[in-house]
Amino acid sequence: MDNKDTIAVVNRLIETSKDGEYGFTSAAEHLRRADLRQLFSTRADECRRAAGELQALVIELGGKAEDSGTAAGAMHRGWIAVKSKLAGYTDLAILEEAERGEDIALARYRHALEQENLPLTVRMVIERQLDGVKYNHAQVRAVRDQERAVQA
């Protein structure tokens, strides 16, 4: 894999991280429970730091780093806002959409690691960040399950 291909892989993950940052921030603005708002704000900060780390990698590789999310991510956030409004901004509806977003992030990180011949330093960063994505996903799923239990 040449630098151009590696930069493209990392830039896609920057977009994914920015999607996560924007998505968690948007969700935090609409969640009713203060503990969930704080949790999602923390997750947004972690996604912002992950994007920054990836952006530094792209610059080290001699590329131009992405600085925004994907069009699909923007559409997903728009859908969260519409669906949440229709559902009365219930925490459960927001948590379910957040989990869908984390499903996408997991798939994108796993796909990146399927790329052969990634430089070892890049692979190590992606693997470590994948652990963070898995943690976010598990945490969102856990609070979603708790909210479902409360609603039942």
Domains and CATH numbers, the chain: 3-151 (1.20.1260.10)
The yes-or-no verdict on residue 144 having pLDDT over 90 is yes
Q: Residues in the chain, how many? A: 152
pLDDT at 69: 52
What is d(CA 61, CA 70) in angstroms, rounded to the nearest whole number? Answer: 22
Pure H helices in 61-90: 71-86
Token pair, residue 18, equals 């920015």
Is 30's pLDDT higher than 60?
A: yes
Q: Could you give the C-alpha distances from 72 to 18, 99, 136, in angstroms and in order?
A: 12, 15, 20
Banded pLDDT at 7 (limits 50, 70, 90): very high
Please tell me which residue, 107 or 78, carries the higher pLDDT value: 107
Dump pLDDT digits (tens) for 79-138.
Answer: 555 555 545 678 998 899 889 889 999 999 999 999 989 999 999 999 999 999 999 999
Statement: residue 12 has pLDDT above 50: yes
d(CA 151, CA 107): 29
User: What is the model's pTM?
Assistant: 0.85
Q: Which residues contact 123 (CB under 8 A, 6 or more apart)?
A: 113
Mean pLDDT within 67-81: 54
- Helix/strand/coil for 85: helix
104: which residues sit within 8 A by CB, 6+ positions away?
16, 19, 76
Residue 86: what pLDDT? 47
Contact 41/50 with Cβ under 8 angstroms? no
